[in-house]
Amino acid sequence: MQIFSGMQRDLFDKKALTLFFLYLFIVLYPTAQTLYPLLPPMLGLAYVKWREAVRAKSLPHIAVWMIYALVFETMWGLPLYGVWSVMIFTFVLFDNKITHTLHMDPMIKVLSAIIFDLLYFSFLYGYGVLMGEKVIDTAGVLFYYFFMDILGVMLF
């Protein structure tokens, strides 16, 4: 009995395991999206998790979500580094104001995801107008993606 009472769980193993599953998610989820187009991109959730990692100053988690954004843009042929630009823009301009105005963490997450999604859709629309090509379709699937993104933020 003495042996087991002195054992402690290694916190490093928990962090490494979490990062492993996040990297696995980065590899599998975007490829599954190309096969099943009804899987939402979950960019708002990625922004909220990236925002939490920035606030916690966790460099590996920041890198995970930045790589997810890069893989997503590459898989769908979207403008490269657009998600990064909107993430940083949203974080710098809106995050402190939202955090100081609202003191409820779930509402901050939902509002951050809504602002990020709207800014990213605006960025894609503006990019399409500027380049003279249709980057996004204004079909109902965008509303589905937006709703699923907000639902994902509320659940996770």
Query: C-alpha distances in angstroms, 61 versus 48, 57, 66?
Result: 12, 9, 9
Higher pLDDT, 134 or 137: 134
Decide: helix, strand or coil at residue 58.
coil
d(Cα 26, Cα 21) in Å, to the nearest integer? 9
Say if residue 2's pLDDT is above 60.
Answer: no
Residues 9-41: pLDDT tens digits?
A: 665 677 788 888 888 888 889 889 888 888 898
Query: C-alpha distances in angstroms, 25 versus 42, 66, 73, 112?
Result: 12, 13, 15, 22
d(Cα 25, Cα 127) in Å, to the nearest integer? 28
Residues 100-131: pLDDT tens digits?
A: 999 899 999 999 999 999 999 999 999 999 99
Q: How many residues does the chain have?
A: 156
Q: Which domain holds residue 141?
A: 2-155
Work out how many domains the chain is built from and give that number.
1
Residues 51-106: pLDDT tens digits?
A: 999 999 999 999 999 999 999 999 888 999 999 999 999 999 999 999 999 989 99
Q: What is the pLDDT of residue 18?
A: 82
Prediction pTM value: 0.86
Residue 39, token pair as written in the block: 């899987």
d(Cα 79, Cα 70) in Å, to the nearest integer? 10
Say if residue 47's pLDDT is above 70.
Answer: yes
